[in-house]
């Protein structure tokens, strides 16, 4: 059977599933022409990717529809992965709240604009993510923020890893943060970067043992009860994984783009796939991928050794169609500077140069938008 034939049959089957879903009261958000929400079908090595227009959908509705499609698609059809895509720009949705869908069965509307709320004064919000911990995501976030500040940008850094905050140590800062007369937190500032971290508020050796609702409330305070001032970029250092923190951020903030950090070994890239898919499913534009600990660089002779593997990042980049923004070695100077609270991009230019392509790529990405 040809690829075109499979595409046609699968398209018809998916459109039928969408039409059937719209007949049920729980799926009233699909509108009067649900079959038109299927934008495209693209084959991958393991499945087909179905791009579905999600204008007017909230997160709960996306999950509900994806589960319905997975359950109701005929078994003879190939496996489908659902990616959502807005046809109308997020900016328009924020500026036109009247476009929210009507309540379904008396419930509160789920439209995206119900919760999306920009941070006053912040032009661009960039999320730095990783599927797995220990890949150097926070070090990348800090050096990206300082690198942008070196270029004359007004930059903020929000350490959103509430369970394991590290920005305070990486930036050489200690709390607590001052509080304004209006009871708003004032960021600490160093190297031209305004920094907010949960690490400023807790003892470094005391664990945060909180459930999801408490995490959500704390994050909203870090988003909106801080005197950020005017910023060109706010870099958000996310915790590893795809849980409460990520969902709270994406539900609340108009994200400008996402960056995924990974080491090159297969086990780390497995989780990087998940982090990337999270951004895609939740319609966060993807800036690209950073390969951290790309190779080991001997401090004596400069010899490079691919201790975590070779060429796997390139395969990942081609497979997921995302650019590699920078390749950063496993280097003693980077580790020492990080431990001492001196971001290497400013304290040791010979090693900081590895972060320059990332900074330049983010600036270039902004110029293209």
Question: Interior CA angle at 346 toward 127 and 238, to 5°?
Answer: 15
Give me 290's structure tokens: 């950073």
- Counting Cβ atoms within 10 Å, is residue 29 exposed (0-12), middle (13-18) or buried (19+)? buried
- The whole-number pLDDT of residue 88 equals 62
The pLDDT tens digits of the residues spanning 104-119 come to: 333 323 333 346 889 9
* Same domain (yes/no): 93, 141: no
Q: Domain ends where: 109, 143, 174?
A: 109
- Do 208 and 278 sit in the same domain of this protein? yes
Report the alpha-carbon distance of residue 153 to residue 57 in Å, rounded: 34
With beta carbons less than 8 A apart as the criterion, state whether 268 and 158 touch. Answer: no
Q: Are residues 264 and 299 in the same domain?
A: yes
Instruction: Using the structure block, give the residue that is written with the tokens 């394991």.
Output: 164
- Which pTM value belongs to this model? 0.71
As beta bridge partners, residue 231 has 122
- State phi, psi for 216 to the nearest 5 degrees: -60, -45
pLDDT tens track for 279-319: 887 788 899 999 988 888 777 887 788 878 777 888 888 88
The answer on pLDDT for 102 being more than 70 is: no
3 state DSSP class of 119 = coil
Q: What is the pLDDT of residues 225-266, one digit of tens each?
A: 999 999 999 999 988 877 778 887 877 888 999 999 988 888
Cβ neighbours, 10 Å, residue 127: 25
From the CB of residue 243, how many other CB atoms can be counted at a distance below 10 Å? 13
Domain containing 202 — which CATH number? 3.40.50.300
Same domain, 100 and 128: no
Pairwise pLDDT comparison (86 vs 66), residue with the higher score:
66
Token pair listed for 304? 């490079």
Enter the DSSP assignment of 201. Answer: T
Tens-place pLDDT, residues 201-215: 877 777 777 777 778
Mean pLDDT of 26-38: 89
Find which of 23-37, 148-162, 304-318, 327-341 is predicted with most confidence, using mean pLDDT: 148-162
Q: What is the mean pLDDT of the chain?
A: 84
Stronger pLDDT, 203 or 13, i.e. the higher one: 13
**What's the angle, vertex CA 141, arms to CA 226 and CA 290, rounded to 5?**
145
pLDDT at residue number 141: 95
Task: Over range 66-84, report the average pLDDT.
Answer: 87
Q: What is the pLDDT of residue 94?
A: 36
Would 114 be classed as within a structural domain? no
Domain contains 42: yes
Residue 283 and residue 206 share a domain: yes
Instruction: Give me the domain span that covers residue 15.
Output: 3-109
Query: How confident is the model over 138-160, as a mean pLDDT?
Result: 95
**Of all residues in the chain, what percent carry a pLDDT higher than 90?**
35
Q: What is the pLDDT of residues 176-186, one digit of tens each?
A: 899 888 889 99
Instruction: Please list the alpha-helical segments (H only) found in the chain.
Output: 3-22, 59-72, 90-95, 137-150, 167-171, 212-224, 244-252, 266-281, 312-320, 332-339, 344-347, 349-352, 356-368
- Say yes or no to pLDDT of 198 above 50: yes
Q: What is the pLDDT of residue 111?
A: 35
Percentage of the chain lying above the pLDDT 70 cut: 92
pLDDT at site 220: 85
Q: Is residue 167 in a domain?
A: yes
Q: How do residues 128-137 score in pLDDT, each as one tens digit?
A: 988 778 888 9
Do 218 and 359 fall within a single domain?
yes
The domain boundary residue, chosen from 63, 81, 109: 109
Nearest by Cα to 113 from 25, 54, 35, 32:
54
Among 109, 141, 164, identify where a domain stops.
Answer: 109
Radius of gyration of the chain, Cα coordinates, nearest whole angstrom: 22
Averaged pLDDT, 328-334: 87
The pLDDT value recorded for residue 91 is 41
- Selected residue with higher pLDDT from 211 and 21: 21
Task: Give the count of domains, the chain.
Answer: 2
Q: Using the predicted structure, report yes or no on whether residue 347 has a pLDDT greater than 70.
A: yes
30, part of any domain? yes
d(CA 288, CA 344): 22
């Amino acid at each position: 059977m040809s690829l075109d034939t499979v595409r046609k049959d699968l398209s018809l089957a998916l459109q039928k599933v969408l039409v059937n879903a719209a007949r049920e009261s729980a799926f009233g958000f699909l509108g009067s022409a649900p079959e038109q929400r299927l934008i495209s079908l693209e084959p991958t090595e393991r499945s087909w990717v179905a791009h579905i227009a999600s204008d007017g959908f909230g997160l709960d509705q996306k999950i509900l529809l994806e589960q319905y499609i997975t359950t109701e698609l005929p078994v003879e059809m190939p496996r489908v992965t659902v990616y959502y895509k807005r046809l109308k720009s997020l900016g328009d949705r924020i500026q036109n709240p009247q476009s929210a869908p009507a309540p379904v069965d008396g419930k509160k509307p789920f439209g995206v604009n119900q919760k999306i709320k920009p941070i006053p004064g912040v032009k661009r919000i960039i999320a730095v993510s990783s599927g797995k911990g220990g890949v150097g995501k926070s070090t990348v976030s800090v050096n990206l923020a300082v690198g942008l500040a070196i270029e004359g940008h007004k930059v903020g850094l929000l350490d959103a890893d509430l369970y394991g905050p590290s920005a305070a140590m990486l930036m050489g800062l200690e709390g607590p943060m001052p509080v304004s007369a209006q009871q708003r937190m004032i960021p600490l500032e160093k190297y031209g970067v305004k920094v907010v971290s949960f690490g400023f508020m807790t003892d470094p050796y005391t664990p945060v043992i909180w459930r999801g609702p408490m995490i959500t409330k704390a994050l909203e305070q870090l988003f909106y009860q801080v005197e950020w001032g005017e910023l060109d970029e706010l870099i958000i250092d996310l915790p590893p994984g795809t849980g409460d923190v990520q969902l709270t951020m994406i539900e609340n903030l108009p994200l400008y783009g996402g960056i995924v950090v990974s080491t090159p070994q297969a086990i780390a890239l497995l989780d990087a796939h998940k982090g990337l898919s999270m951004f895609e499913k939740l319609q966060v534009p993807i800036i690209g991928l950073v390969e951290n600990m790309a190779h080991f660089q001997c401090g004596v002779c400069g010899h490079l050794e691919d201790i975590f593997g070779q060429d796997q990042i390139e395969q990942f980049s081609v497979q997921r169609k995302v650019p590699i923004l920078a390749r950063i070695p496993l280097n003693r100077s980077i580790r020492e500077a990080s431990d001492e609270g001196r971001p290497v991009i400013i304290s040791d230019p010979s090693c900081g140069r590895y972060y320059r392509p990332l900074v330049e790529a983010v600036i270039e990405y902004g110029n293209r938008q």
